Copies of this chain bind each other. A is one copy, B any other.
C-alpha cells in the first residue's frame, strides 16, 4: 500500500485505483466518465479498463445510445469478484461481516467474547466465524483477507496491539502476525474508529472530503479522514477525542485530567439527561470543526445510536448555530449509514483498499522512519 519510490508500477496501480473508485461510486460508468473524472486520455482509460476486465473486476454491462454516433460501452463493477471479511473486536463482543468489492455488507453476525478474553480465544472465535462466512458460496478463492478493527492503543504500522483498554491479556500482542499464521489470510489491523471512517469514505467515494467519525460506545473516540486518507497520528493514537478537556473546573476523569468530554458527557447521560449529553458531545464536535475544518461529521457507536435523533439534532444545531460559521463554511452532519456494522465493514474495506485502493507514497518515512 505504501511505498517510497514512484516507479511505473505505481502509475499503473494509481490510475487503476482511480477507475475502481469511479466504479465503486457510480455503479455504472463508461470510458468518457472516467476520462472526465481523471483527465487521463481516452486511450489510457481503454488500457486500464482492459486490464480490469481481464482481472474480472469490472465487466461490460450494455451500451449507451446518446443519440448520434457509435454507442458507448457501459461498464460496471463486478461486486462478487472479490470479498473481504471484517471484524470489530470490542470488549465483550465480536462482530464479523462479509463485504464485497462494491462495499456492500452481505452477512453480519455478532457473537459474545469471554470476559477478559485472551489472544488465543479471539483467534479461535475468528477462525470459526471465518470458516462459516467463507463457506457460504465457496468464497475462499475470492477472499482478499481479514480486516480487524480493534480498541487501542495499538501500533498499526507493525500490526501490534500495545495495550488494549480494559483487556488484561493484551500487552504488545503481534496480532497481525499471529492471525495471518493461524488463519492463512492477509490480515490488516487498525484502530476501530479508523476502520470506521474508512467505511464512510468508501461509500462516499471521491466526493468525500475531510471528515470525522464520532463514536460513542463505552467511551468517546473518533476516526479521521484527512486529505484523502485515514489519519492515525504519529503512534496510531489519534482520536482520543473523549479525553479532551471541555470544562477546566469539571469532574476528574479516569485519565487524571479534569472535565474531559467523556466524563462530562457520562455524567449527563447517567443523570438520564440524554439531550444534555448530546449537547455536550456537540460542543466537542464544534471544537473539532474549529480545529480541523471538516466537510463531514458522521455519528456512530452503540450508545449514541440508542438515541440517534437526539444526538443528530444536537450536533446539527450546534454546528449550524456557531456564530463564526459563515455560509461558505458548510459541514454535513449525518448518522452512519452502516449502523452497528461500520467498524467491521470498514476493516474489511481496508483490506480491499490495499489491493484495489489508491496507493500511497510514504515519503515521510524515507529517513530514519
Contact = CB atoms under 8 A, between A and B. Distances in A.
Nearest to A294: B234
Contacts of A328: 155, 162, 235
Nearest to A163: B326
A366 B37 contact: yes
Interface in A319-369: 322-324, 326, 328-331, 358, 361-369
A119 interface: no
28 contacts: A6-B11, A7-B11, A14-B361, A25-B367, A162-B326, A206-B365, A207-B367, A207-B368, A210-B231, A210-B234, A222-B291, A227-B229, A228-B362, A231-B292, A232-B293, A234-B294, A234-B331, A236-B293, A237-B329, A239-B291, A240-B291, A244-B287, A247-B249, A247-B259, A248-B250, A248-B259, A248-B283, A288-B291
A125 interface: no
Interface in A227-261: 227-229, 231-241, 243-250, 255-257, 259
A39 interface: yes
Interface in A139-198: 153, 155, 162-163
A3 to B, nearest CB: 8
B366 A323 contact: no
A290 to B, nearest CB: 4
Given A207-B368, A241-B290, 19 more contacts: A4-B39, A10-B11, A21-B363, A38-B366, A206-B369, A207-B369, A208-B364, A209-B234, A210-B233, A224-B292, A227-B364, A235-B293, A238-B291, A244-B287, A246-B246, A246-B247, A248-B264, A257-B323, A288-B291
A4 to B, nearest CB: 5
Contact of A5 (B39, B227, B329): B39
A41 to B, nearest CB: 9
A157 to B, nearest CB: 12
Chain A: number of interface residues, binned into ranges: 35 or more
A91 B72 CA distance: 57
A18 interface: yes
Contacts of A255: 322-324
Contacts of A235: 293, 295, 328-330
B245 A248 contact: no
A283 B260 CA distance: 11
A237 B207 contact: no
Q: Could you say how many copies of this chain the assembly holds?
A: 2
A39 B245 CA distance: 43
Interface of A: 3-8, 10-11, 14-15, 18, 21-22, 25, 37-40, 153, 155, 162-163, 205-210, 222, 224, 226-229, 231-241, 243-250, 255-257, 259, 264, 280, 283, 286-288, 290-295, 322-324, 326, 328-331, 358, 361-369
Q: Among A10, A162, A328, find the residue whose CB has the most chain B CB atoms closer than 10 A.
A: A328
Nearest to A255: B324
A233 B344 CA distance: 27
